[in-house]
Amino acid sequence: MSNPTFTHLDAAGNPSMVNVSEKAVTQRSARARAIVSLPQAVLDLLERGDIHMPKGPVFQTAIIAGVMAAKKTGELIPLCHPLGMDHCSVSIHVNEQQDVVVECTASVNAKTGIEMEALTGATLAALTIYDMCKALSHDIVIREIRLMEKTGGKRDFKREE
């Protein structure tokens, strides 16, 4: 980064949507991750079979919420370009450290990236897990919401797992 600048500010320092009209359409994809730490008692219930709460099954509901959120990213984040995603998926599993790992992968053929959609999908899926499990405990922590990888555009990015 020889001369870093904030892309969402104009020359006068005012908020401005990035002009992508001159950019080429390319295949772009992104994968984001959120980690949810649950109390052991809640985790035990989940591992015995997805808890069916009054709002529905926890993980399945969170998957739907994540995809729905990713589709609305342009409405939720100011100055974010609205994109017609070609694909979006959310996966949820419990890792060896007994954390719930939420991953959202999104792809599009467009002039701008799709990492905000992947980040939004992972975040809202994690928030849905919190919402659905809070009746059992408020000792739930959502952490490490991060972009894991992106392809397409100026440069690719891949974080070490």
Give the CATH number for residue 82. 3.30.70.640
In a domain, 145, yes or no: yes
DSSP, collapsed to helix, strand or coil, labels residue 152 as coil
Mean pLDDT taken over the chain: 91
Contact present, 133 and 44 (Cβ < 8 Å): no
- Please tell me the pTM assigned to this model: 0.90
Number of domains in the chain: 1
Q: What is the pLDDT of residues 8-41, one digit of tens each?
A: 787 888 888 888 988 889 999 999 999 999 999 9
Instruction: Identify which has the larger pLDDT, 14 or 59.
Output: 59
* Bridge partners (DSSP) listed for residue 151: 29
Rounded CA-CA distance 43/136 in Å is 11
10 Å CB burial of residue 32 (0-12, 13-18, 19+) is buried
In a domain, 98, yes or no: yes
In a domain, 85, yes or no: yes
Which of 10, 86, 131, 139 is an active site residue? 131
In a domain, 100, yes or no: yes
Is 156 a known active-site residue? no
In a domain, 115, yes or no: yes
In a domain, 74, yes or no: yes
Q: Quick check: 2 pLDDT over 70?
A: no
In a domain, 19, yes or no: no
Question: Residue 51: which domain range?
Answer: 26-151
Identify the pLDDT of residue 52. 67
Q: Quick check: 135 pLDDT over 80?
A: yes
